[in-house]
Structure 1
Amino acid sequence: MLNIRHPAMAILLASLASSAAICQAHASGYTGTSADYGSQVPTAGAVRTIVITPDTRWINVTNGETIRFSVGDQNFTWHFDTLQGEITFELARIAPAGVNVGTVRTYVTANPQYHG
């Protein structure tokens, strides 16, 4: 067992271990999959709903936000978690198979809570 006599050293070691885990999680960079933009999650976590209609051309979301998308009689919920603070992509990249979102463009803005 490691005997640490100074509390500051314990805090430093814990911080380094935490940083290493975070870096490893993003070490692979972009994968070219929907995982680059976050993940599909249960609807209960959604903070708001965006209705996609044939007239919808773009949507704005914030990195870290969980959104329920309503497309006709189909729904899906997505938690946005991008490596970059601001990014844009076609909503179809994250929509489940069979959900037609057309050519809606997604604009993800940086979350001010993530900045120091």
Structure 2
Amino acid sequence: MKTNKSVAAALVLSALSISTAWSTDKSKTNAGDDVAQHVQRQAAEPAATPAAAQVSAMRIGSKAAIFGSQVAAGTASRAVAVAPGMKYVNVASGETVTFRSGEQEEAWKFAESIRGTNVDLGVLLPGVPNAQGVRVYIDRSHLFTGG
């Protein structure tokens, strides 16, 4: 008897949820059309997307943000000359470094890293000549390791 009441209650609840879902497509949107028509119209419209260059810059910027952020050159604790043929540079977690190539200089404040990591300098500072292909090795943070 108790099982029959549970089954009956489940059937009633499922019927109520079906009727609610069925009636949703008959509801009106703020645009005045049915929900189903609204979804179909939106699917047919092309999505507004930024230019390919902007998308590429957003991807680079979001990857670079993992490693820290660009800062004013006057805030750096040291400067590194980026020369042709340079292979790598070592930095400490949390360190701010100015990278110079010719007349151009840009500074980067490296994020604290739990484990040591590395990144291409060209990803962080794509505008710096000779930066592409130079690996930046970021030391483990003493803040997290207690050292």
Q: What is the CA-CA distance between 1:72 and the residue it aligns to?
A: 1.5
Q: Do the aligned partners of 1:68 and 1:76 also contact (CA within 8 Å) in 2?
A: yes
Checking the alignment, whether the CA contact within 8 Å between 1:90 and 1:105 is kept in structure 2 is yes
Map of 1:70 onto structure 2: 100
State the Cα deviation string for residues 16-54 of structure 1 (Å, max 9, x = none): xxxxxxxxxxxxxxx952101100001121000010100
After TM superposition, the score normalised by the length of structure 1 is 0.65
> In the TM superposition, what whole-angstrom CA distance separates every residue of 1:40-88 from its partner, at most 9, and x where no partner exists?
0011210000101002110000110000000121100000005543101
2:127 and 2:85 mapped to 1: Cα distance? 21
- Output the amino acid matched with 1:51: A
1:35 aligns with 2:35: no
- AA in 1 matched with 2:73: T
Q: Look up the equivalent residue of 1:43 and give its one-letter code.
A: A
Matches within 5 A, 1:10-21: none
SS in 1 for 2:131: coil
> CA RMSD of the aligned region, Å?
2.0
- Whether the aligned pair in 1 keeps the contact of 2:78 and 2:96 (CA below 8 Å) is yes
Instruction: State the one-letter code of the partner of 2:142.
Output: P
Long gaps (5+) in structure 1: 1-30
Matched, 1:57 2:93: no
| Alignment match of 2:111 (pick from 81, 92, 97) | 81
> Which of 131, 134, 140 in structure 2 is aligned with 1:110?
140
For residues 98 and 80 of structure 1, the distance between their equivalents in structure 2, rounded to whole angstroms, comes to: 17
Q: Which has the higher strand share?
A: 1
Q: Which has the higher contact order (CA 8 A, sep 6+)?
A: 1
Would the aligned equivalents of 2:90 and 2:137 in 1 still touch at CA under 8 Å?
Answer: yes
Flag structure 2 segments of 5+ consecutive residues without an equivalent: 1-60
